[in-house]
């Protein structure tokens, strides 16, 4: 228990932890404020005003076209003026009323049901990035500075030490993510109330938002744990960042190779896509190589539906391998 308390204190005494957390909160607040400012509730008076504006725009455009047509007719054939116009003045552009839809003249309005999922994934992305960095520096700086060695002189059980650190970090990360997530959902509920539309929000929709939120939490924790484990493996924060660059290179390599070797759906090997699928539940990948021609000779795409379960299992394997390697290294390595 004393170790848990010490690690909690250590985590929140780190300046980077607070800087990153405050940064995330500020960015989230800025996004929410921006959404609030750039959206407006659609009230009937605005709809009427928009319709008027659309009609006015149409009339202006029509009048301008009429003037052009008159100039065209007035121009003597063969003159310099006539060169600016088509031979037949009836070919000149004439605007139609359908080209001026009134919705364009309505202010932006926030549709909770359609737009909130994107906000959840934005939240997950931001939190995951912060979690990766906080996790990596939390243990990386500890190794690099020699503080880990000092700690091991006090608590020689290495797996307990690393496990407690990881546990404390993930515990607090989960708490903070849930709290911020709740605030985030509340903020957008209010934005929809005042600057948009909360229509069609059945309990089923709320439930699906909740589940997406839970999957986001899972994603944030997993990314945090991977950052932590990579930095511990490399005994340096920089290793986690280097690994990120390395992994990007490997991913591009795998993608290109998979494409070359004629594997179908090379995107399926991209880990970031797994994250996307994990959040949005499914993604249909298409293959247009047309091995399977239809009877008519035209090409039908083959499809592969990636589900969040597949993405989850894939990510869990990656997570287990990385964290397992970090634990194993902790057990056997010499600490110099």
Partner 1 sequence: MTPVLEISGLRKTYRSRKGARNALDGFDMVVEAGQVHGFLGPNGSGKTTTLRTLLGLIRPDGGRMALLGREVPWHLPEVAGRVGAIVESPQFFGRFTAETTLSLLADAGGVDRARVPAVLDLVGLRDRAKEKVKTYSLGMKQRLAVASALLKEPTLLILDEPANGLDPGGIREMRTLMRDLSASGMTVLLSSHILAEIQLICDSVTIISAGRRITAGSVAEVLAQHTSGAVRVRLEPDTDQEEAARILREAGAQVTVETAGQLTVRDVTGPAQITRLLAQREIYLCELTPIAADLEDVFLELTGTTPVEGHHRQVDENALAVGQNGWGR
Half-sphere exposure of 43 (CA within 13 A, CB side): 6
Give me the helix-helix angle, 203-234 and 112-145, nearest 10°. 20
DSSP 8-state symbol, 97:
G
Binding-site residue total for partner 1 (CB under 8 A)? Answer: 28
CB of 13 to partner 1, least distance (A): 6
Question: Least distance to partner 1 from the beta carbon of 168, Å?
Answer: 12
2 near partner 1, judged by CB under 8 A: yes
For the bound state, the minimum distance from the C-beta of residue 153 to partner 1, rounded and expressed in Å, comes to: 5
Near partner 1 by CB under 8 A: residue from 3, 72, 311, 322? 3
CA distance 262 to 271: 19
Beta strands in 205-319 (DSSP E): 282-287, 302-307
Q: Which is nearer to partner 1, 35 or 137 (CB)?
A: 137
In the complex, the smallest distance separating the C-beta of residue 327 from partner 1, rounded to whole angstroms, is 16
Near partner 1 in 136-195, by CB under 8 A: 141-142, 145-147, 149-157
Per-residue tokens: 124: 């997950």
Residue ranges in 6-35 that form contacts with partner 1 under rule CB under 8 A = 6-7, 9-10, 13-15
Nearer to partner 1, 142 or 197 (CB): 142
327 touching partner 1, by CB under 8 A: no
Report if residue 329 touches partner 1, rule: CB under 8 A.
no
**Neighbour count for residue 217 (Cβ, 10 Å):** 17
Toward partner 1, which CB reaches closer, 164 or 315?
164
What whole-number distance in Å separates Cα of residue 281 and Cα of residue 283? 7
Here's the x/- map for partner 1, 103-142, by CB under 8 A: it reads as --------------------------------------xx
Identity of the residue, 194 or 328, whose beta carbon is nearer to partner 1 in the bound complex: 328
Q: Report the DSSP pairing between strands 196-197 and 110-111.
A: parallel
Which tokens belong to 262? 């004629």
Tell me whether residue 157 or residue 305 sits nearer to partner 1 (CB atom): 157
What mask of x and - would describe binding to partner 1 in positions 303 to 322, judged by CB under 8 A?
A: --------------------
Query: 164 or 177, CB closer to partner 1?
Result: 164
Residue 47 CB partners (closer than 8 Å, separation 6+): 102, 106
Instruction: Give min distance, CB of 137 to partner 1, in A.
Output: 11
CB of 135: closest distance to partner 1 in angstroms? 16
CA torsion through residues 48, 201, 117, 229, sign: positive
- Minimum CB distance to partner 1 smaller for 141 or for 310: 141
Q: Considering the complex, what minimum distance in angstroms separates the CB of residue 228 from partner 1?
A: 16
Structure tokens at 181: 């997530």
Q: What is the distance between the alpha carbons of residues 264 and 288, in angstroms, rounded to a whole number?
A: 9
Q: Which of 45, 67, 295, 332 binds partner 1 (CB under 8 A)?
A: 332
Residue 327: CB partners within 8 Å, gap ≥ 6? 159, 162, 163
Q: What are phi and psi of 86, to 5 degrees?
A: -70, 160
Exposed / middle / buried, residue 319 (Cβ in 10 Å: 0-12, 13-18, 19+): middle
- Residues in the site for partner 1, rule: CB under 8 A? 2-3, 5-7, 9-10, 13-15, 141-142, 145-147, 149-157, 332, 334-336
């Amino acid at each position: 228990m004393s170790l848990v308390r010490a690690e909690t204190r250590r985590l929140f005494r780190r300046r980077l932890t607070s800087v990153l957390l405050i940064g995330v909160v500020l960015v989230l607040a800025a996004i929410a404020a921006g959404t609030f400012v750039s959206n407006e509730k659609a009230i009937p008076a605005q709809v009427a005003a928009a319709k008027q504006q659309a009609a006015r725009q149409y009339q202006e455009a029509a009048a301008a076209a009429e003037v052009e047509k008159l100039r065209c007719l007035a121009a003597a054939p063969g003159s310099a003026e006539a060169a600016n116009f088509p031979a037949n003045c009836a070919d000149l552009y004439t605007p139609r009323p359908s080209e001026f839809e009134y919705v364009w003249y309505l202010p932006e309005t926030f549709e909770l049901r359609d737009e909130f999922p994107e906000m959840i994934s934005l939240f997950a992305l931001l939190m995951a990035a912060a979690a990766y960095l906080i996790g990596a520096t939390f243990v990386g700086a500890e190794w690099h500075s020699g503080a880990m060695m000092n700690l091991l002189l006090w608590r020689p059980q290495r797996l307990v030490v690393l496990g407690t650190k990881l546990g404390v970090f993930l515990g607090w990360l989960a708490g903070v993510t849930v709290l911020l997530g709740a605030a985030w959902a509340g903020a957008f509920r209010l934005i929809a109330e005042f600057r948009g539309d909360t229509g069609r929000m059945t309990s089923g929709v709320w439930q699906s938002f909740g589940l997406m939120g839970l999957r986001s939490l899972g994603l944030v924790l997993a990314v945090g744990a991977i950052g932590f484990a990579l930095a511990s493996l490399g005994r340096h924060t920089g290793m986690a960042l280097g690994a990120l660059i390395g992994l990007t290179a490997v991913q591009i390599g795998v993608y290109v190779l998979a494409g070359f070797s004629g594997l179908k759906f090379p995107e399926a090997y991209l880990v970031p896509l797994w994250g996307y699928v994990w959040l949005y539940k499914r993604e249909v990948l298409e293959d247009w190589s047309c091995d399977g021609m239809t009877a008519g000779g035209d090409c039908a795409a083959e499809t592969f539906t990636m589900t969040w379960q597949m993405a989850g299992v894939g990510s869990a394997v990656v997570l287990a391998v990385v964290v397992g390697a970090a634990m194993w290294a902790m057990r056997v390595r010499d600490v110099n």
